[in-house]
Structure 1
């Protein structure tokens, strides 16, 4: 029987992003690999992705640092089977040869470890709470961004830049990143110590009341799309200025 430990890793200051490292039987599943586990905000936050139910759920648990369609990501299917929890069906959509061994945990031990990790909020700061609330708002009802033919790709929060979050949008909606007609837009937003719920409401209104592309920077996509739509190329990033 496997034993799970969820270990929150704080990277060196030159890097970004906390990680929830899955330790199975004392072994870090992604040690000495190109993959980085996702953040506690994604795996242990309001979506409660690691909780196991009788209905199988596929969870993206690690990535390589870029968007999935470019560099890939690791997915695992989590399901409860009587007194056990199983992690099976490991896959990387961009690497057909990727595989990891199935894991079988005691449901009691697994549930206790997930509950412990979810309750431990020492890693959290106001920016992570605002990012979590804003992400839920922008994905629960996409009509606000849909008016501008945009969709939310991600919201980035960084422990070494706690006063900022980065909202990443994709235009047009439902585009295929393997084609050359899409653009990725980024908007850097300031975060304060004020009430996180109030900040999330204000930022949602700011992003949906008017076309967010008007004040955003192009962070990715294709030169063809940028030239066609009248945006500058190559991409510009606030952390390079």
Structure 2
């Protein structure tokens, strides 16, 4: 689940990104949902997928008992025994740009997925998009954003120290100078100062640069989530 508390239901409805593919949302899409509180219930509705290809069928809304929902979100948020070092490092790194928007914003960059490597779970992977804007002096079209991936290997230091060091780095250095380009024009990235342009790829409509993900077993949901109600599927 998101580590920043966004699944909590507040007084106002808000859209939350539940999941993003490892190659970033701009490549193969993500799943978003709107969460709102309605009296003694919590509603998840208006779920939508974003992807370069055609979308799937519409997704139903769900209603939860607010008391049980709040308890389950609190329980899941404090359930950390399953986490491993690289995943523990990813958590504060993902929260960093939310708490300090200027951390990446000063470089015209926006945060993406922060997690662990598909082929190397011991490595923390940080992704971000870069759209040349005021800081570059050469604004670019929104559909030409460059996307980067930054691998943080396990160097033997404590997870907290590793995360703190990772958060200090973009405060001092432009991250596109040490991250690898994963989406966009290598030539354009090099023009903008990237020293590790990578292979890139053509953009929307082109092939995903990552191999198909291997299926992973789903973690069991609690009875609070399994007991969610949803409207009938049709007549």
Unaligned 5+ segments in structure 1 are: 1-39
Q: Residues 154 and 63 of structure 1: is their aligned pair in 2 closer, same or farther, counting only changes over 3 Å?
A: closer
Is 1:77 the counterpart of 2:42 in the alignment? no
Query: What does the per-residue CA deviation read over 1:112-136, in whole Å, with 9 as the maximum and x for residues that have no partner?
Result: 3323322322321222222121222
Q: How does 1:124-135 map to 2 (within 5 A)?
A: 124-135=83-94
Shift of residue 195, structure 1, vs aligned partner: 4.0
1:183 and 1:218 in contact (8 A); partners too: yes
Unaligned 5+ segments in structure 2 are: 134-138, 202-208, 212-235
| Matching residue of 1:155 | 114
Q: Residues 177 and 129 of structure 1: is their aligned pair in 2 closer, same or farther, counting only changes over 3 Å?
A: farther
1:227 and 1:233 in contact (8 A); partners too: no
| Matching residue of 2:97 | 138
Q: Distance in 2 between matches of 1:133 and 1:85?
A: 27
SS in 2 for 1:112: helix
Q: Residues 123 and 92 of structure 1: is their aligned pair in 2 closer, same or farther, counting only changes over 3 Å?
A: same
SS in 1 for 2:74: helix
| Matching residue of 2:199 | 234
Could you tell me the TM-score, scaled by structure 1's length? Answer: 0.64
Is 1:52 the counterpart of 2:9 in the alignment? yes
Aligned partner (choices 130, 140, 144) of residue 171 of structure 1: 130
Supply the RMSD in Å over aligned alpha carbons: 3.5
Q: Residues 63 and 165 of structure 1: is their aligned pair in 2 closer, same or farther, counting only changes over 3 Å?
A: closer
Aligned partner (choices 164, 174, 178) of residue 201 of structure 1: 164
Aligned partner (choices 100, 103, 112) of residue 59 of structure 2: 100
Q: Report 1 or 2 for greater relative contact order, CA contacts < 8 Å, sequence distance ≥ 6.
A: 2
Considering fraction of residues, name the structure with more strand.
1
Q: Distance in 2 between matches of 1:113 and 1:206?
A: 35
Is 1:62 the counterpart of 2:62 in the alignment? no
| Matching residue of 1:116 | 75
Q: Residues 49 and 145 of structure 1: is their aligned pair in 2 closer, same or farther, counting only changes over 3 Å?
A: closer
Query: What does the per-residue CA deviation read over 1:4-42, in whole Å, with 9 as the maximum and x for residues that have no partner?
Result: xxxxxxxxxxxxxxxxxxxxxxxxxxxxxxxxxxxx3x2
Query: What does the per-residue CA deviation read over 1:57-111, in whole Å, with 9 as the maximum and x for residues that have no partner?
Result: 2122234554323333222211121211111222224456641222122222322
SS in 1 for 2:73: helix
Deviation larger for 228-237 or 139-148: 228-237
SS in 1 for 2:69: helix
Could you tell me the TM-score, scaled by structure 2's length? Answer: 0.66
Deviation larger for 62-71 or 224-233: 224-233
Q: Distance in 2 between matches of 1:97 and 1:161?
A: 30
Q: How does 1:7-46 map to 2 (within 5 A)?
A: 40=1, 42=2, 45=3
Q: Distance in 2 between matches of 1:228 and 1:126?
A: 36
Shift of residue 219, structure 1, vs aligned partner: 1.6
Q: Count matched residues.
A: 195
